[in-house]
Structure 1
């Protein structure tokens, strides 16, 4: 499996539906074997370019603020960058200070990938962002992994753009709902909104599965594919 990179070269990566690698790595809470770390929970792994940098500090601080929301959804959080465990531990104090909290540790671990082995394996390196030695830095990747250890979502941001962790909670809500029910979530959906019946379900099946009723939006084509229901 590989992802195309610049200049015609390739680098390893992971695609939706693939089993996420059961890697082992050093972290701020000790040595971790990823599948054991997840257990039967969902997981979110997010990388950042470097410790002690401005955008990354705001991101990990926001992730810390929302750690309770991720826990409510049975999602285990883990971060990653190419810095050492020692750097991670020292930087955590800055991150928590940015939040105005007296604690010096984050509510989730950070993976140390100073040899870039995991970053290469997962296709996380940004060819345009390099350190003082000319080595590629990790981009702002997001991976959401299901309890079956398969990749459910991946998002890649450039180093200059901070992520929206409220949006990550929203997509996890969608992923968890659509894993349980035969529905899809429309544009700008949020919990409590109507959802869409998937096209593969017949009207009879939909009527049985959705006792709250199904409404169909009429469109000029006359096709009845825009079916909504309350989950």
Structure 2
């Protein structure tokens, strides 16, 4: 199990683009690893098709994406034809790799098994995990969905935008924030520093407690 802030394991794996060493595959990029219960399953097919459509947006953000499913590379390659057909993708080469984890080694190591969902042999399926990693190879965000619930990849893009913004600016993003929206000044920024730190200006929201902690500023 990997906790927020931990360095992500530098595992070796067979993938649809050949063997990889994970950290070397990442390079200096951000990365997203997202897992799937099995090949040739309906929800997984919709998800990988959606990510294939979003690859240009991930690339704009300097993010590499890689999937994982508990089947062989050979199975993945055949499944890709279905994914491309479903999404009407015309690319000759699939735009991101898929890891083979037939023995569920990575699924166990990374805490990605869904005990309530079993395959035909009675083994737990891999849940729909999302791991977002920074260029420092550390885990910045994780989400775990059950096998029956497909992910919202617009939310994953939004989370990446927030992580990258707050990595460099002294702000936090509020509920339902989207890129370009107002942000909250971090509580660690002293009152005497706010004006110089946020030249676009800021406002302090009045609350019954009288405390001046709700400081809002345009996105830096």
TM-score with structure 1 setting the length: 0.93
Q: How does 1:6-85 map to 2 (within 5 A)?
A: 13-85=1-73
Question: Which stretch shifts more, 220-229 or 93-102?
Answer: 93-102
Aligned-pair CA distance for 1:18: 0.4
Question: Residue 179 of structure 2 aligns with which residue?
Answer: 191
Q: How does 1:151-166 map to 2 (within 5 A)?
A: 151-166=139-154
Contact 1:61–1:96 under 8 Å retained in 2: yes
SS for the counterpart of 2:143 is strand
Contact 1:92–1:104 under 8 Å retained in 2: no
Contact 1:89–1:105 under 8 Å retained in 2: no
1:93-126 deviations in whole A, cap 9, x for unaligned?
1001111123354210000000111111000011
1:45-65 deviations in whole A, cap 9, x for unaligned?
000101100000001000000
CA RMSD of aligned residues (A): 0.8
Equivalent residue pairs, number: 219
Q: How does 1:120-159 map to 2 (within 5 A)?
A: 120-159=108-147
Question: Residue 182 of structure 1 aligns with which residue?
Answer: 170
Q: Take 1:47 and 1:126, find their aligned partners in 2: how far apart are those partners?
A: 11
Aligned-pair CA distance for 1:213: 1.0
Q: Take 1:176 and 1:102, find their aligned partners in 2: how far apart are those partners?
A: 31
Q: Take 1:34 and 1:206, find their aligned partners in 2: how far apart are those partners?
A: 41
SS for the counterpart of 1:86 is helix
Contact 1:96–1:104 under 8 Å retained in 2: no
Q: How does 1:101-116 map to 2 (within 5 A)?
A: 101-103=89-91, 105-116=93-104
1:56-102 deviations in whole A, cap 9, x for unaligned?
00010000000100000000000001100000010001001111123
SS for the counterpart of 2:141 is strand
Contact 1:96–1:105 under 8 Å retained in 2: no
Question: Which stretch shifts more, 103-112 or 212-221?
Answer: 103-112
